[in-house]
Amino acid sequence: MKRFVKTAVAAAAVVGVTAQPHHGHRHLHAKKHDHQHLQQRDTVVVTKVVQGPTVTEYWLDGKKIDAEQAEKGIENGDFYVVGSSKPTFTAPPPIVSTSLAGPEHGGQFFEKATSEPTTTSTSTSTSSTSTSSTPTPEPTKEAPKPSGPKGLDADFPSGKVPCSKVPTEYGAIEIPWSGTDGWTTIISVGKLIKGVALDNIYTAVSGGCKPGDLCSYACPPGYQKTQWPEESQGATGQSVGGLYCNEDGFLELTRPKYTKLCEPGAGGVFVRNELSGNAAVCRTDYPGNENMIIPLDTYPGNTYPLTNPDSKTYYRWKGMPTTAQYYVNNEGVEVEEACTWRSSKYPESAGNWAPTNIGVGKSEDGITYISIFPNLPTSNAVLNFDIEIIGDISGTCYLKSGKYYGSSTGCTVGMREGGTATIVFKKSS
């Protein structure tokens, strides 16, 4: 079965106090129509410019093609999308008190209280009708650590571990439903030469990691992968990441100065499930094919860390900082149906068509931006529960009964360094 992937349509912007629009480009790949197993596809470039309304353009072999034709091709399996661009969502600026915009606070936007907020301060929980004070919760569930003698804290022995399986004993997480032997993305690049851009890139839709492949992997909640070839990204903007399988069939680090496969993010952001059932949150594999395959399956009564990339150390696209994007699926959707490109059980409301996105990232000025916004223009599904962000945050942001606070395009809050924010899933009122 073919497996389709796509680039992230959105992510929280972390490029300063007021986020600016980005210009990005993306790639579709067109299926080769022959009787052989699908191995290679021709490139289609997708350009999405976000400035006011979203505009998407599709290009094939240097020529613009009709959007309806392109989208039908994606739906029918003739095309699929691979990671290629800096996420293009422009986060609405956090709602702030102007009293904090002056030099006293260096332009950091946080609501003025009777005293400066600290990491132990109470947080403001806001709905459309009332305001209450809620303590910032402590996480009730640690990020799971893989079993085995080494785990997250072990240095990976570059060039000594076979490419035949995901190295879970070094902290990576295997994804059973990926279709690519537990890896999140497998991209064939041939010989990897430091400093040379990759212009012969093919994305596997099945099978395992083999010589000449970049093999990307998932990490536990609160952690993110450390490996991508910083000086050998796609020649036309494709993002690629993971370990490299050398000609001898052994995995090599692509960022040798980072010897552990997974690292914690900047921290401070959590998800709490106050529902009756599970709710899956799926991160895109970036840099990689940007399929929403990295799972966080939340359960009632538990609080989980949500990985918050630090733009100072995380992946940079053409020198620009990037963030994490998450797809929030309806309550009750199984994680393997949620954290995938297209769900067989919920084709119009899960996976790539999940109702809601979350964007998270810590900017270079120390502020973490957190956004919730509809998964437009891809999905018209409405989330079957409410979301609210609480904690040491700059203002108000929630989704209630299908309506976003402040704007139909979503909302954003900022959190100062050392603060804590919790994204709460709760029953619709």
CATH number of the domain within which 349 lies? 2.60.110.10
pLDDT at site 306: 97
Residue 68 belongs to what domain range?
23-82
User: Are residues 33 and 117 located together in one domain of the fold?
Assistant: no
Mean pLDDT of 315-334: 93
Rounded distance, CA 329 to CA 314, Å? 26
Please enumerate in sequence order all residues whose Cβ is within 8 A of that of 33, keeping only pairs 6 or more positions apart, or say none: none
Rounded distance, CA 399 to CA 270, Å? 17
| Any domain includes 238 | no
User: Are residues 77 and 131 located together in one domain of the fold?
Assistant: no
User: Are residues 281 and 308 located together in one domain of the fold?
Assistant: yes
Average pLDDT, the chain: 74
| Any domain includes 349 | yes
User: Are residues 108 and 46 located together in one domain of the fold?
Assistant: no
User: Are residues 71 and 103 located together in one domain of the fold?
Assistant: no
Mean pLDDT of 376-397: 95
User: Are residues 345 and 394 located together in one domain of the fold?
Assistant: yes
Please provide the distance, in angstroms rounded to a whole number, between the alpha carbons at the two ends of the chain.
41
| Any domain includes 103 | yes
pLDDT band at 183 (very low <50, low <70, confident <90, very high): very high
User: Are residues 363 and 314 located together in one domain of the fold?
Assistant: yes
pTM over 0.75: no
User: Are residues 301 and 395 located together in one domain of the fold?
Assistant: yes
| Any domain includes 405 | yes
Specify the higher pLDDT residue, 163 or 71: 163
Domain end residue (candidates: 82, 108, 126): 82
User: Are residues 137 and 27 located together in one domain of the fold?
Assistant: no
Angle at 25 between CA 236 and CA 288, to 5 degrees: 70
Q: How far is CA 243 from the centre of its chain?
A: 19
pLDDT exceeds cutoff 50 at 29:
no
Mean pLDDT of 257-268: 96
| Any domain includes 371 | yes
In the chain, the number of structural domains is: 2
| Any domain includes 340 | yes
pLDDT at site 15: 27
User: Are residues 132 and 40 located together in one domain of the fold?
Assistant: no
Q: Which strand (E) or helix (H) includes residue 327?
A: strand 324-328
| Any domain includes 165 | no
pLDDT at site 194: 79
Name the residue with tokens 């603060």: 419
Virtual CA dihedral for 383, 413, 390, 287, nearest 10 degrees?
A: 60
User: Are residues 54 and 102 located together in one domain of the fold?
Assistant: no
Sheet containing 161-162: which strands, arranged edge to edge? Answer: 161-162, 250-252, 243-245, 213-216, 185-188, 202-203
DSSP 371-387: EEEE-TTT-----SSEE
- Residue 209, burial from CB neighbour count under 10 angstroms (0-12, 13-18, 19+): buried
User: Are residues 305 and 357 located together in one domain of the fold?
Assistant: yes
| Any domain includes 43 | yes
